[in-house]
Structures are given as structure tokens and as C-alpha cells.
Amino acid sequence: MKSIKGLFYAVVSSSTFGLVPLFAVPALKAGIPVNSVVFYRFAFSSILVGLVLLVRRESFRLEKRQLPVIAGFAFLYAVTSFLLTLSYLYIPSGLATTLHFLYPVLVTILMVMFFKERLSPPVVIATLLALSGIYLLSGSDSGGFNATGMALALTTVLTYASYIVGLNQSSASHIDSLKLTFYILATGSIFFLSNLLIRHEVPAPIPSWETGIDLFLLALVPTLISNLTLILAVKHIGSTTTAVLGCMEPLTAVVMGIIFLGESCSPMQALGIGIILVAVTTVIVARNPHELKRAWQVIPRLLHKVPSERRKQ
């Protein structure tokens, strides 16, 4: 059951994180600078989590030794968000998301090299499938090469992989997930506010209520929900499996682009979607062979039971 919950959290985390361009790009096009966009993103989300903690009457207390750990995680997550958002100004968001998804490979390498994690064949197969699916999803019309945008997106591979591995291997794994989410987001908002003040700037005014809604949803869905479920997933199933299931992130970005932005889906992209779904299925089957076997045995019984009850009526 713990493994199933972890898989669910991982899929929700990667799917919601894939919605970042859907809310961030309209805010950028509305004229809000990147620094202000990421500040609003972290500030709004930390306020929301803080309110939940207050309503639940949870303690905000932390041990002194946990403070530098949380500050480090907040820095890694904030840098990832900032650089990925900034890359949208140089390269298409779909291409940026594709490059960002290289982080599962780095997570796997870090876990094997430094933490002696055994690399199972299903995880290797799923990783290769996911990468090939992401390559197909990127499409051939993703725009021209831009060194700055590519460098920004590729840097997030290192920062996000380090963030995921750290969550699993540090003392932060023992902190309540909701409280940890609050402090990471709140500290991130302080980082971005400090950056604005150092540059002698203030958060840009929100030009319209539509942009305000985009910023609120950016804070709620691909920030608060994504980060909370990521922390829960890492605690339940570990860094490597959580990272591999991150393939849902670019899949979500492509699907949302088709539904809401009028983008087309080529046959190669459709093939990429299919390959990603196979990769996700491979991980789920590998992690839960016994649970899936029991479910497969129960389904025929349920199907047989329904007609029997109808005949009794």
C-alpha cells in the first residue's frame, strides 16, 4: 500500500509540475518580469500552506540543525524554478521541459555512485523508454538552437536532481511533509524578494485579474501540490523511481498545449506519448507485482458478482 501511494504521489507531482508553462508563460507575456513571477509563485504558495498549518494547528517549530538543510533545499528548488522560467524567454517551453527531464538520469547516476543503490533492469528499461518518448515529444518544430536557453534548462537538471536526492538522503526526510513544504517555499520567496531588493526593484504590479489568476494557479498547482506530492513520493518510493515517473511532466505539457493552446500533435509525438505510458506502466508493474497479481485475480470475481446480484433483484 505504501508503494502504491508513493507511485500515485509521484505521478501527481510530475503531472502538476508539467503545468508550469501553462500558467507562467501568460504571466510573462503580460509583462511581469521573471523575478516577480517566481516571487509571486513562491510567496502565494507559502501563504497557502501556512494557512493550512494554522487551521490544523500544526507546530511551526524546527530544530536548529534542520535550518541549514531546509535553506539548501529551498535554494535548489528556487534556482530550478527561476532558471526554468527564464529559459522560456529563449527557447520554447516544450523544448525546455524536454531538456529538464534529463534529471532522472542524473538522479539514477547519483544514487548508484554515492549511495550504492542497486539498479534494477525494469528501472533501466523504463528510463530509456521515457527518454526516447521525451525525444519524440519534443517534435521537430521546437524552434532554433539558442545556447543561453539550452544552458539554463540544462542547469536545472543538476539543481533538481540534487534536490530530489537530498530529500531522500538527508535529515529532512524525518520532517513533516506539509511543514517541510512550507519552509522550502517560504524560504524560496525570501530568496526572490532579496534578489529584487538587491537589484533595487520591487515585485511588479499584477496588470489584470486574469494574470492574477494565472499567478495564483501557478502557486497552487505546479508549486504547492507538485512539491508536496514530490516530498511524499520520495519518502514512500525513493528518489530513483520518483524521478523516472517524472516523465509525466512533459506529457502533461504537450497534452495541455493541445487542449488549451491549440497546438497540434504529430504522429511522432503520439508515439512518444504511447512510449511514456509504457515506461510508467513498467515502473508500476516492477514496483507492485504482488499487488497487481491480486488485483488481476479480484477483477474476474467482481465481474462475475455483478450479474449474480442483478439476477437476485
**Residue 219 predicted with pLDDT over 50:** yes
User: Which pLDDT score is estimated for 280?
Assistant: 67
Q: What angle do CA 14, 19, 21 make, to 5 degrees?
A: 125
- What digits encode the pLDDT tens for the residues 112-129? 888 877 777 877 887 788
The three grid cell numbers given for residue 203, joined into one nine-digit string: 515585485
Torsion of CA 137, 141, 144, 146, to 10 degrees: -20
User: What does the domain layout of the chain look like in residue ranges?
Assistant: 2-312
In contact, 54 and 242? CB cutoff 8 Å: no
Q: Per-residue pLDDT averaged across 238-267, rounded?
A: 74
In contact, 144 and 38? CB cutoff 8 Å: no
For residues 162 and 264, the model is more confident at: 162
**Residue 242 predicted with pLDDT over 70:** yes
Cα 133 from Cα 245, distance rounded (Å): 13
Q: Per-residue pLDDT averaged across 4-22, rounded?
A: 86
- What digits encode the pLDDT tens for the residues 140-192? 454 555 788 888 988 998 999 999 999 888 877 788 899 999 999 999 999 99
User: Which pLDDT score is estimated for 295?
Assistant: 44
**Residue 99 predicted with pLDDT over 50:** yes
Distances (CA, A) of 259 to 252, 254, 263: 10, 9, 8
Q: Is the dihedral of CA 183, 20, 155, 34 positive or negative?
A: negative
For residues 35 and 139, the model is more confident at: 35
Q: Per-residue pLDDT averaged across 260-271, rounded?
A: 71
Q: What angle do CA 288, 293, 299 make, to 5 degrees?
A: 125
Residue 31 per-residue DSSP state = T
User: Which pLDDT score is estimated for 185?
Assistant: 95
